[in-house]
Amino acid sequence: MSTVSVSAPAQPRKKVTTLTFRQKKERGEPISMLTAYDYPTALSMDAAGVDAILVGDSLGMVVLGYANTIPVTMEEMLHHCRAVSRGARSALLIGDMPFMSYQADVNEAVRNAGRFLKESGMDAVKLEGGRERAEAVRAIVGAGIPVMGHLGLTPQSVNQLGGFRPQGKTASAAKKLLEDALLLEEAGAFSLVLESVPARLAEHVSKQLSIPTIGIGAGVGCDGQVLVTHDLLGLFDRFTPKFVKKYADFHGEMQRAFAEYLSDVQSRQFPGAEHSVEMPDEEWESFIRSTK
């Protein structure tokens, strides 16, 4: 009898839903979220077991090379959401609504939110802002579309905030942030991103809400964490916020690989015989004879 044990194939992971988010908060289990903008990244993130993938409008900065997120369009977002949805089977997929796709008009906000689900395979949308967005959140949720809020440092308001700077550092700003969080919960948001706010404020807000908070630069007291993947991988070298933990140096590794390729091409080390296509000798000889 064979002593080799054959392990059963890994069970496909169950689809993560907004209910999973709520249950994880109730059980005190941290929720993991990362950004992705393309198929291969979504594929490996999903296989790693990340709970949620945000197709963030950070796309504009880390992939498209804009100075900030303001120029990002609906078409750019939908294009990248489609690629991510082809790569991820189990993670909850959240599409970030770009600047001016939801601010001007509530009906337009609902229609644009709907496009993320209908045209690009997302499960939910995210939008930035507090009390001034409560009506849009209520209307989008009313259309059956789960909404994640985003408070604190809201990059689409960078011009109003005077730069990418931490928020909620005074007693009055902290109070406003807590009120906004409660209003978004009341409007039906299933979760909230808290970006670049003091850790004790984020923990306090998280305890006041029944919906989970996902922190970025907001300390360990949030119900989950998110990072921009290009920051985590060291792939975006323009600047790295203080709150990022770099898990790799892909920018350096890419430069090393490109320089090695260049050197191999220049020295004719590449391509080697193993990278080349051959043809049978008799066919070659027949070809040469035919050219004489």
Which residues are the active-site residues? Answer: 195
Nearer residue to ligand KIV within complex by CB, 35 or 103: 35
Cα distances from 152 to residues 45, 95, 182, 277, in angstroms, run 26, 19, 14, 57
With CB atoms as reference, the residue minimizing the distance to ligand KIV is: 56
Compute how many other C-beta atoms are within 10 angstroms of the C-beta atom of residue 153.
24
Stretch of 53-61, 77-85, 168-176, 262-270 lying at the interface with ligand KIV (CB under 6 A): 53-61
Options 134, 178, 211, 228; binder of ligand KIV; rule CB under 6 A? 228
Token pair of 137 as six digits = 């959140």
Q: For residue 32, what are the β-bridge partners? A: 225
* DSSP-assigned beta bridge partners for residue 226: 33
**Which of 18, 32, 35, 213 is the binder for ligand KIV (CB under 6 A)?**
35
By CB under 6 A, tell whether 213 contacts ligand KIV. Answer: no
Please report, as residue ranges, which positions from 78 to 97 form the binding site for ligand KIV (by CB under 6 A): 96
HSE-up of residue 5 (Cα within 13 Å, Cβ side): 2
Look at residues 205, 226, 232 and name the one whose alpha carbon lies nearest to residue 214. Answer: 226
Answer whether 91's CB lies under 8 Å from 53's CB. yes
Under the binding rule (CB under 6 A), the answer on residue 216 touching ligand KIV is: yes
Q: What secondary structure does DSSP assign to 126-144, as a single string?
A: E--BSGGGHHHHHHHHHTT
168 binds ligand KIV (CB under 6 A): no
Q: Say whether residue 56 binds ligand KIV (CB under 6 A).
A: yes
Q: Per CB under 6 A, does 58 bind ligand KIV?
A: yes
Q: Which of 235, 145, 149 is nearest to 195 (CA)?
A: 149
* 223 part of the interface to ligand KIV, by CB under 6 A: no
Beta carbon nearer to ligand KIV, 109 or 226: 226
Helices 39-48, 74-87: axis angle to 10 degrees equals 50
Q: Which is nearer to ligand KIV, 198 or 217 (CB)?
A: 217
C-beta of 35 vs 206, nearer to ligand KIV: 35
In this chain, which of 50, 125, 193, 197 binds ligand KIV, going by CB under 6 A? Answer: 193
Positions that interact with ligand KIV (CB under 6 A): 35, 54, 56-58, 96, 150, 193, 195, 216, 226, 228
